[in-house]
Chains A and B, each alone.
Chain A
Amino acid sequence: MTSLLDTPLVRPGIGQGLKDVFRRRYLLKLLVRKEIKLRYRGSVLGVIWSYVKPAIQFVVFYIAMGVFLGLNKNVGNYAVYLFSGIVLINFFTEALNNAAKSIVYNSGLIKKIFLPRELFPVASVFVSAAHFFPQLVVLLIGCLLTGWQPTPLGILAGFAGFLVLAMLSVGLGLFFSSVNVYFRDSENFVEMMLMVATWVSPVMYQWGMVHERLGDFWFGVYQSNPVTVGVELFHYAFWSSTAGGDAALAAPPQLFELWLPVALVVSAAVLALGQFTFRKLEVKFAQEL
């Protein structure tokens, strides 16, 4: 009985943010597994949907941009170019969309039981990562069929691109999910932002076209978007060695020396801001939901 005296009196409900998510990683695992189990429940095709959707998207963009607008001829192996960008953007879109809704969606639990609420947006990002994986496999098959030669730097670029977007999704997810409790408009704002994301990054076109039209300064602004850098890193990782002649155009100058560090810093700052906002707002989640 006396042993309880050794535990200190603490204020309940004061968490340590993302550190708690790590501490409760078993719970995180169960939450992620639950989401994956429930996602395609009752649908005939089940998990196949996570292949069908990107496949359709790919075909539409390929015909519209590649065939009709002629990018097919200007960009070597345009199919892999396009698909490597799409899978990454898809991961980001799904992760952020679901993370932004996660707190309101789990209000039943948040109102009644105390647990680190950061778990929910983080779990959404993990679920999207699980959906990203099969798409990556399809991409790799495409790469291998078109003469892909993996290099250490290329593989590093792939991991770095994914890391940048994962950090960005967690950071923005924390921010928008907590604001969403107070203003449900934030969900719609995120959807709008993500619609634009595909176009302000070189997913369908090449970075060179932007540089040509905007000049150095605005190109620098364009490059400070971590999503852009993530997509370029993916191009470097999966597409550049399959492209044939125009290897010089494969990656923008200083992608590794300058833009990758910039992207990491920007994402880390967004993550810090997201965590800060979340912790400020989470105190009143239970009563506002």
Chain B
Amino acid sequence: MSELSPVTVEIKGISKQFVLRHTRSIKEALIWFLKGRKGDLSARFHALRDVSLDIRQGETVALLGFNGSGKSTLLKHISGVMTPDEGTVRTRGRVAGLIEVGAGFHPDLSGRDNVYLNAAILGMSEAQIKERFDSIVEFAEIGEFIDTEVRFYSSGMYLRLAFSVAVHSDPEVFLVDEILAVGDEPFQKKCLEKIQELVDAGQTLVVVSHDLDLVQRVCSRGILLEHGRVLKDGPSHDVVEFLRSRTKG
């Protein structure tokens, strides 16, 4: 992407620590307090450590790394679900996406109710939802199941509807955390086309995926995380090659 495109995600030196053991009752906390607050209540570790990066409009970025390397945590910082202990995250425009399939879905509601609820959660207005409803259902190819309770959906159908809603919410920055895995081949293809269309229209895309071939196809830039640090940041091809060579070696 051109250097002149505006920065949509700006991450400056963020770190995030998590506690490993939680206190869950007042009793435990009180005992710790009465003992003179000796020792830390729980062990800590860094899930993100001094991460800095800029993402520009229209970029397609893949976050790569092994399980537990901090990819989802980084996405949550971009979406605002979490806030960093140090450093700052700033975003431009609306940020939305799919952190997990059907996070905003309620199994006991019908597909229709869920579309409305989820779309509103992602920040669409009532008028926008009404206008795009048919298009959402059509894209998901749910057809007559739209008035069935969602708990009777197959996981693929779940994904279709969730993805369709998210894609129609039309945010400036679109986040996707490994969800394409559940869809069947034709639907995956359709999603990728849709994503490409959005990117061409100037949307920024940040995906997490373990499917390296897919990453190479969809994303132009790759960022490799390891133990919460950025290990490599460059063209997705190079980063994927690097990751593959490390796995072998």
Contact = CB atoms under 8 A, between A and B. Distances in A.
Interface in B187-244: 202
Contact of A108 (B58, B103, B113): B103
A4 B57 CA distance: 9
A38 B113 CA distance: 12
B25 A183 contact: yes
Contacts of B121: 27, 109, 113, 115
B90 A11 contact: yes
B108 A41 contact: yes
B22 A12 contact: no
Contacts of B122: 113
A9 B93 CA distance: 8
Contacts of A26: 120, 125-126
Contact of A12 (B78, B103, B108): B78
B51 interface: no
B106 A113 contact: no
Interface stretch (A82-90, A167-175, A281-289): A281-289
A183 B79 CA distance: 26
Interface residues of B, number: 45
A130 interface: no
Contact of A31 (B80, B99, B117, B172): B117
Contact of B25 (A112, A185, A287): A185
Contacts, number: 105
Interface residues of A, number: 36
A184 interface: yes
Given A4-B8, A37-B109, A112-B100, A12 B25 contact: no
B89 A11 contact: yes
Contacts of B53: none
B203 to A, nearest CB: 10
Contacts of A196: none
Contact of B5 (A1, A9, A30): A1
Interface string A2-31: 101101111111100000000010110011
Contacts of B106: 34, 38
B35 interface: no
A114 interface: yes
Given A13-B80, A26-B120, A27-B120, A4 B109 contact: no
Contact of B172 (A4, A8, A38): A4
Given A9-B90, A13-B81, A286 B76 contact: yes
Given A34-B113, A113-B121, A114-B79, A12 B89 contact: yes
Contacts of B10: 9
A15 B8 CA distance: 19
Contacts of B58: 1
Interface in A91-127: 108-115
Contacts of B91: 9-12
Interface of A: 1-2, 4-5, 7-14, 24, 26-27, 30-31, 34, 37-38, 41, 108-115, 183-185, 283, 286-288
Given A5-B6, A13-B79, A24-B120, 5 more contacts: A9-B10, A10-B91, A11-B91, A13-B82, A286-B82
Closest 9 CB pairs of A and B: A13-B80, A12-B80, A112-B103, A114-B80, A9-B90, A27-B120, A112-B99, A286-B81, A5-B6
14 contacts: A4-B6, A4-B202, A7-B92, A7-B93, A11-B91, A12-B78, A12-B95, A13-B81, A14-B80, A34-B117, A110-B81, A113-B121, A114-B80, A286-B82
